[in-house]
Amino acid sequence: MEANKHQEHILVVGGGSGMGLAVANRLLEWGATVTIAGRSSERLTLARERLGADTPRLHTVVADVTREDDIERLFASTGDLHHIVWTAADVGGVYVPLDDMDISTARRVVDSKVIAPVMLAKHGAPRLIPGGSITLTSGIAAYRPAPKGSVVAAINGALESLVYALAVELAPLRVNAVSPGWVDTPIWESVAGAGKTAALEAMAKRLLVQRIGQPDDIAQAIEAVMRNTFMTGTVVHVDGGQRLV
């Protein structure tokens, strides 16, 4: 693997911000060619500026991964890949009591974090070279659900079951997931709004490591999972011990 690092091409879906951006940064520093895909052209432009606008090994593709035609177009543009990393999620508006739940919103979230990875695997697996991998991102809600978080708990649990099934069906390609705990990313702006800082500080006091996660904590784990050629059908927890407290 080490000898071929400069020849690797890795797709990061959701790489425009947060954990995905941190993954893209680590991979670029490592010497790989990286394509980041996301729905927002503005966010991808900002990501390119942060990662290095003149970096020839960085490519961006605007794509809505909840649309199969967009996914087909995405993989038509990437060509062969060594690894696929998926960190995308659209959970805005879903942290509400069941009585207030808009079912169309719930369906949008399911599409973004369950159906989208299915389509990603369907069209991405044929693009992966032998020895390639898919790494998805689930989350602590599957294990420690919170009030108002039933939909998020359900989709994270479903995604992890999907990982087990895909690892069997796509073998010898490897499929794994990383399950983050509370991480300081832009998604908290939509989840907690003005209460973001207080919520994160309160959780930090509870966690065994006494701090909230940072995007690079998750990026390190994703890279490690991607590199370990004996790991498949596995969920790696990077949650500061949250499952234990």
pLDDT digits (tens, 9 = 90+) for 192-227: 667 788 889 999 999 999 999 999 999 999 999 999
Q: Where are the beta strands (DSSP E) in 53-191?
A: 58-62, 81-86, 128-137, 174-180
The answer to whether residue 103 scores a pLDDT higher than 90 is: yes
Confidence grade of residue 92 (pLDDT, cut at 50, 70, 90): confident
Q: Which residues pair with 34 in a beta bridge?
A: 10, 58
Domains along the chain?
A: 2-235 (3.40.50.720)
- Residue 86 in contact with residue 136, Cβ under 8 Å? yes
Residue in the structure block whose two tokens are 């199969």: 68
pLDDT of residue 5: 56
Question: What does the mean pLDDT of the chain come to?
Answer: 92
Please report, for the chain, how many H helices and E strands are present, in that order: 9, 7
pLDDT of residue 194: 73
| Catalytic center residues | 138
- Residue 37 in contact with residue 234, Cβ under 8 Å? no
pLDDT digits (tens, 9 = 90+) for 104-116: 999 999 999 999 9
- Residue 159 in contact with residue 117, Cβ under 8 Å? yes
The answer to whether residue 3 scores a pLDDT higher than 50 is: no
Question: In angstroms, rounded to a whole number, what is the distance separating the alpha carbons of residues 135 and 176?
Answer: 5
Confidence grade of residue 191 (pLDDT, cut at 50, 70, 90): low
